[in-house]
Chains A and B, each alone.
Chain A
């Protein structure tokens, strides 16, 4: 089954304790992206990757890191989490990036609900 898999589904951590949220896709997609979703603010892009070893900042990159060493994996790293990073996180992938035509829809993971106390 074509899918984007995120882990963990739920995570509660303490301020300052480094964590990684994993994301893997099995569709051979070039493009991958991380979003966070907050009430009243909607979905906002954190980082994206157009291909292996190619990553760039989205709208809200502060406090996050990513890497793309393999095509299928795109982990999100919080080096020193803070309470304002409490949110619902989604990883997504697509055949091509948003600015390229023809364009394709994104496939999203099931989400990771992160709480930083």
Chain B
């Protein structure tokens, strides 16, 4: 079955450094990947979408890449700040009979001052 996988371990990064999060997909070829931010007890907030024919997408301090050979997307936050601490979710179309987004379980990012 189609899967989207993210490193479930928390990622600790020092303030000012670049944080890099990984999203891997298996058993299908999504036409796009989406990235969301989720704070505890709150709804996910859409950040970026990258299509399969796009190598890279940027928005302010955020950058997303999409490597169809490695079946992987990388999400970068440059000049990280403590306010960037949150869980980041990767998602794409389920690819099965039902419509909808399938989400990875998310990576918890902690930016240490």
Contact = CB atoms under 8 A, between A and B. Distances in A.
Interface string B18-54: 0000000000000110101000011111110100000
Interface size class of A (residues with CB under 8 A): 20 to 34
Nearest to A100: B99
A103 B99 contact: no
B43 A99 contact: no
Nearest to A50: B99
A43 B103 contact: yes
Contact of B46 (A59, A98, A107, A109): A107
Contacts of A48: 98-100
A105 B43 contact: no
Nearest to A48: B100
Interface string A76-98: 00000000000010101000011
A33 interface: yes
Given A42-B106, A43-B89, A98 B100 contact: yes
A103 to B, nearest CB: 5
B41 A42 contact: no
Contact of B43 (A40, A90, A97): A90
A10 B20 CA distance: 34
A69 to B, nearest CB: 20
A12 interface: no
Nearest to B6: A42
A106 interface: yes
16 contacts: A4-B43, A41-B105, A42-B104, A43-B103, A45-B98, A45-B100, A45-B102, A88-B41, A97-B100, A98-B92, A105-B49, A106-B34, A106-B44, A106-B101, A108-B43, A111-B42
